[in-house]
């Protein structure tokens, strides 16, 4: 009897550890189903660790085994990535998310305020609040306004610019008393401080008090030259806003008087205009105490297109050229009626030399 036969007779076949090739009936790899090679600790096909049962030996956990398996797994994944890049198929893409206006998806990315000075962080938050407010996103403006207020309160020795910012933030939050407190502080520095007047104007506009707003504009216009001569840095920073409010008190020359308005070639649309628009803009679109003249160079086609008239009717207009306040939208005006009104106004303009 050969030594090999003697070893086989002394040990059952199921415990043999000398086979080097797979044999039918052995327990398959749990990961891929392959029949493992005898004495193997890892599957020859997928690299998965074996518990020794298929090879006839029970093995406990082994740190080296796990390391080898990790290297093998990384190698397999790397190979798969290379193949995928060289032979791309149809990629599986996640479903596109719809973009919702003024949603978190469209808002500015968060800024790491911890890297800024307290004043820089406060100004950054102020700009975000004002941007949201100007874009009509009142929800975001009110959400960040308290954070901005708290940021300014952490700044020592607030200057006039910061006091004005605080006043604007308090108005966003509807806290008129605190906004007036900032006005008092600004006027302690200069009795006719232009930024204090800007805040007073904002308060009057929010309250819908046109008389008070006009009075503030007049005071600002009177103080403008002497105050701007001081070259205060806050005036430089807010020059655009100062000039915008000042110009509201000195609008362009008014439109022609009713008897001086030349008639258009056709009166088609006149009845529509007089029913819908004349109360504010005058019977001949020459303006009233409640609205500006449309027979004016400001509204020439090159400056205000026909589309701007459609938007004004549908969406309203925020005050920008004249001190009459915002124009609200006019409900229930069909497009064909707007078209007749625009045609008639354009005819009036051309008849009066506005092209």
Residues of the chain with pLDDT > 90, as a percent, come to 24
pLDDT band at 244 (very low <50, low <70, confident <90, very high): confident
Summarize the confidence of residues 180-198 as an average pLDDT: 95
pLDDT of residue 138: 85
Q: Binning pLDDT at 50, 70 and 90, where does residue 80 land?
A: low
pLDDT at position 34 is 72
Which residue has tokens 């990629």? Answer: 91
Picking from 249, 184, 172, 253, the residue whose alpha carbon sits closest to that of residue 216 is 249
Quick one: pLDDT at residue 264? 63
Q: Indicate the fold that domain 115-249 takes in CATH.
A: 1.25.40
Which 3 state secondary structure label does DSSP give 353?
A: coil
Domain ranges of the chain: 17-83, 115-249, 258-351
Question: Sign of the CA dihedral 159, 160, 165, 171?
Answer: positive
Who has greater pLDDT, 339 or 56?
339
The predicted structure's pLDDT at residue 84: 43
Higher-confidence residue of 112 and 10: namely 112
Mean pLDDT over 165-179 rounds to 95
Q: Of the given ranges (165-174, 201-210, 249-258, 316-325), which has the lowest mean pLDDT?
A: 249-258
Write down the pLDDT at residue 69: 60
**Residue 353 CA: distances (Å) to CA of 131, 188, 263, 295:** 39, 50, 12, 9
Please check the confidence at residue 39 and state whether its pLDDT lies above 70. no
Query: Which residue in 292, 281, 225, 289 sits closest to 254, CA to CA?
Result: 292
Question: Is the per-residue pLDDT at 79 higher than 60?
Answer: no
- In the structure, what pLDDT confidence band is assigned to residue 198 with cuts at 50, 70 and 90? very high
Q: What is residue 249's predicted lDDT score, i.e. its pLDDT?
A: 59
Q: Residue 286 is encoded by which pair of tokens?
A: 């020459």
For residue 298, pLDDT over 50 is answered with yes
| CATH 1.10.760.10 describes domain 258-351 | yes
Is it true that 115-249 and 258-351 share their CATH fold? no
Residue with tokens 């086979």: 19
Task: Print burial letters for 93-110: b (CB count within 10 Å at least 16), e (below 16).
Answer: eeeeeeeeeeeeeeeeee
39 Ramachandran zone, left/alpha/beta (phi>0; psi -120 to 50): left
DSSP state of 44: T
Across the chain, what does the average pLDDT equal?
Answer: 74
pLDDT interval class at 215 (50, 70, 90): very high
- The model's confidence at residue 265, banded by pLDDT at 50, 70 and 90, is low
DSSP state of 49: B
Q: Give the predicted TM-score (pTM) of the model.
A: 0.44
Please give the pLDDT value at position 250: 53
Model pLDDT for residues 83-117, shown as the tens digit of each residue: 444 444 444 333 333 343 444 444 444 555 667 78
Q: Please report, rounded to a whole number, the percentage of residues in the chain having pLDDT higher than 70.
A: 66
């Amino acid at each position: 009897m050969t030594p090999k036969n003697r070893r086989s007779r002394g040990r059952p076949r199921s415990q043999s550890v000398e086979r080097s090739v797979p044999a039918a009936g052995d327990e398959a790899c749990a990961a891929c189903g392959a029949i493992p090679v005898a004495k193997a600790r890892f599957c020859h096909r997928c690299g998965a660790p074996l518990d020794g049962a298929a090879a006839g030996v029970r093995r406990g956990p082994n740190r080296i085994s796990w390391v080898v398996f990790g290297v093998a797994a990384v190698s397999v994944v790397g190979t798969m990535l290379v193949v995928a890049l060289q032979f791309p198929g149809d990629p599986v893409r996640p479903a596109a998310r719809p973009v919702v206006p003024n949603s978190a998806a469209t808002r500015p990315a968060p800024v790491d305020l911890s890297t800024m000075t307290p004043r820089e962080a406060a100004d950054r938050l102020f700009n975000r609040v004002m941007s949201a407010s100007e874009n009509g996103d009142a929800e975001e403006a009110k959400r960040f306004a308290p954070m901005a207020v708290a940021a300014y309160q952490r700044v020592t020795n607030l200057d006039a610019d910061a006091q004005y910012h605080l006043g604007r933030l308090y108005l966003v939050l509807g806290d008129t008393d605190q906004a007036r407190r900032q006005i008092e502080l600004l006027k302690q520095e200069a009795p006719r401080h232009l930024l204090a007047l800007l805040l007073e104007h904002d308060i009057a506009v929010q309250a819908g008090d046109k008389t008070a707003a006009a009075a503030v504009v007049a005071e600002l216009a009177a103080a403008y030259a002497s105050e701007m001569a001081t070259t205060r840095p806050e005036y430089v920073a807010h020059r655009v806003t100062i000039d915008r409010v000042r110009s509201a008190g000195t609008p362009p020359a008014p439109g022609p008087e009713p008897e001086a308005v030349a008639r258009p070639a056709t009166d088609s649309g006149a009845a529509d205009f007089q029913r819908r628009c004349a109360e504010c803009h005058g019977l001949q679109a020459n303006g009233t105490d409640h609205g500006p003249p449309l027979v004016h160079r400001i509204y020439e086609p090159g400056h205000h297109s026909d589309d701007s008239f459609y938007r004004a009717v549908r969406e309203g207009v925020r005050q920008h050229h004249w001190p009459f306040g915002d124009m609200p939208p006019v409900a229930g005006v069909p497009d064909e009626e707007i078209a007749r009104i625009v045609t008639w106004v354009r005819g009036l303009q051309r008849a009066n030399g506005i092209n």
